[in-house]
Structure 1
């Protein structure tokens, strides 16, 4: 079974107004005093109203879920001590007239100089799943195999319908915002690891991007660890939804590697078709039709998920049965984070939405 790790990015919000709170440095210091948090688990992010956590390498989903709950609760307490709250919504729903300051590092200051408004508007947060791989060749196989499933994963994970005090009409506005970077969205199909390294090196050596850290594809190979990183999904309101998505990703990757060994698999999807399907998922989430990579057509979410589970079925274990299937079915019944945010805003107003974001983030 492939090892996995989960990274989550969070926003810091003012509990009274729901506005982004630029208190990341203070919260990070307070987090260092939390006994439940290990050194280095809380990381800085681009803007001073964002923080990131990363689980250790995990072998099963229960272990990953335990770490996420531990870190969310401890970091949430650190935020409370500093007068703000932790929120796992993938875009800041409300904003002030002044931008949130950039985090004071050389890298982030340079990004702000290069792309001022784009950086200012990067008040978005995602979740990243790292899968341990034996080598980069296997990583490219996983990248190619997961490409067709990106639209469905984005639809299930959509959790950013609100932006700058407005209902955007999109389920995942974060997907649109992140798609403005020069190397982003679905990756191309690669022949092998050498092909991947050739293209990414060319992007840097040509001066089009500053370094390999600015390869923002939805899936990429890590340059620091023996992992492939899936970064297409919005951060999740509930920790168990993050675990569910990580379990789906790992099951799909495991099936991909098994299919490669047997010289079978899903045919590649044309880049323009895949990009359009990602846009469709960002627009509608799970409220309309979703793209089914097995048929290459739009279908209803229940049927697409049933086909996904059937596809990964031979690769499932008891962890998937406990941590993926029930949560996935609950999401289809109750709606993803985007649907629940809008429903709460309409029923309870701005204050009710902020309360929900805070409560569901820390599992209250």
Structure 2
């Protein structure tokens, strides 16, 4: 069971709006782009094990930044970590690849990391754990008060579909064109507790939920609540777990900057408008589905105010709502990145075009040979 006062204290000690970023990366054969099991070799070779970690599969590695002031500082660390892995790969015989899913890897070929945490996951999820060949970018933003963190979590659920729409990067799975822009969202969605959360009544009620799930052995720790947005109790942050990982560091900076701006902007909004946390949950889920599947000209309904609009206009609506916060952190430049995506497509669209012209075998190589290492 977890202690309410302990986690209140963790939040209260945080610097408001600082960020941390995690990238989940494929470990690939330099010759074919196929996944290979080199996570153990990487963890034995990295200079700072606090900045790297295992994921569920031995063909995946996660990097994580220290606490950063803003997106620009975080990108410096992410670039350094990608370069560190490139250096280790020359010695250990791998390259990193970046995509929300590997286009060809087969579920039953995957090997699990063996530790207490992931042994529990693999035992719980069995076959579906092996299907989790997925790779995401997670963004943490600190809030110095847990009650406000809950309110911001509730309010910013509104923009989950917009964040996913501009970051889709996983159209293929097990050699199949899935017809989805983000098949990662569908694969990981097979896990329990990966949904968009319903409105959380209070920090106390969230702690109560965690304790209830622990009591019934549904989870062993709060981190096994894998919602699209979750309060991260150990870090004193709100963690956004929405976006497919990006090869482009420019697009990664965009995701981090938008997320930080959302938290900053809605921290101000929830103080004066209690109703901003309320929205139509079914409509929100419908918009999320549209973002996984269709392009920017698809229609959806804003779950907060009921407006029917195109997905691209919904993204612009999000930008307008956080523009002053983007300016506050010196990140107005990321608006041009969003506009470029709305005009020219996401990395998912790039994958689809490349595969059509060159085939899926060459796509596997493309996803490791076209990784951004320097911003």
Q: What TM-score do the two structures reach when normalised by structure 2?
A: 0.89
Tell me the equivalent position of 2:341: 331
Deviation at 1:291, TM superposition (A): 5.2
What is the alpha-carbon distance in structure 1 between the residues aligned to residue 294 and residue 256 of structure 2? 22
Distance 1:103 1:292, change over 3 A: same
Unaligned stretches of 5+ in structure 1?
Answer: 33-37
For 2:240, what is the secondary structure of its paired residue?
strand
What is the alpha-carbon distance in structure 2 between the residues aligned to residue 5 and residue 267 of structure 1? 24
Q: 1:60 aligns with which of 59, 70, 75?
A: 70
**Is 2:311 the partner of 1:296?**
no
Tell me the equivalent position of 1:35: none
**Which segment drifts farther, 202-211 or 38-47?**
202-211
Count of residue pairs the alignment pairs up: 358
Deviation at 1:220, TM superposition (A): 1.0
**Is 2:289 the partner of 1:279?**
yes
Q: 2:268 aligns with which of 250, 254, 258?
A: 258
What is the alpha-carbon distance in structure 1 between the residues aligned to residue 330 and residue 275 of structure 2? 24
**Is 2:44 the partner of 1:29?**
yes
Tell me the equivalent position of 2:8: none
Alpha-carbon contact 1:221-1:229 (below 8 Å) kept: yes
What is the alpha-carbon distance in structure 2 between the residues aligned to residue 40 and residue 267 of structure 1? 35
User: Which contiguous aligned blocks of 4+ residues in structure 1 show a shift greater than 3 angstroms?
Assistant: 264-267, 285-298
Alpha-carbon contact 1:6-1:129 (below 8 Å) kept: yes
**Is 2:21 the partner of 1:6?**
yes
**Is 2:185 the partner of 1:175?**
yes
**Is 2:165 the partner of 1:155?**
yes
Deviations 1:143-173 (A, max 9, x none): 0111111111111111111000000001111
Alpha-carbon contact 1:187-1:218 (below 8 Å) kept: yes
RMSD over equivalenced CA pairs, Å: 2.1
What is the alpha-carbon distance in structure 1 between the residues aligned to residue 359 and residue 269 of structure 2? 49
Q: How does 1:71-220 map to 2 (within 5 A)?
A: 71-96=81-106, 98-220=108-230
Distance 1:358 1:277, change over 3 A: same
What is the alpha-carbon distance in structure 2 between the residues aligned to residue 89 and residue 276 of structure 1? 24
What is the alpha-carbon distance in structure 2 between the residues aligned to residue 353 and residue 204 of structure 1? 42
Deviation at 1:352, TM superposition (A): 3.5
Distance 1:334 1:80, change over 3 A: farther
What is the alpha-carbon distance in structure 2 between the residues aligned to residue 304 and residue 236 of structure 1? 21
Deviation at 1:174, TM superposition (A): 1.0
Distance 1:50 1:262, change over 3 A: same
Distance 1:61 1:203, change over 3 A: same
Deviations 1:76-119 (A, max 9, x none): 23224322211121111112474211012122123222221111
**Is 2:332 the partner of 1:321?**
yes
Q: How does 1:215-234 map to 2 (within 5 A)?
A: 215-234=225-244
Tell me the equivalent position of 2:5: none
Distance 1:288 1:16, change over 3 A: farther
What is the alpha-carbon distance in structure 1 between the residues aligned to residue 277 and residue 55 of structure 2? 37
Distance 1:310 1:44, change over 3 A: same
For 1:254, what is the secondary structure of its paired residue?
helix
**Which segment drifts farther, 43-52 or 330-339?**
330-339
Distance 1:11 1:287, change over 3 A: farther
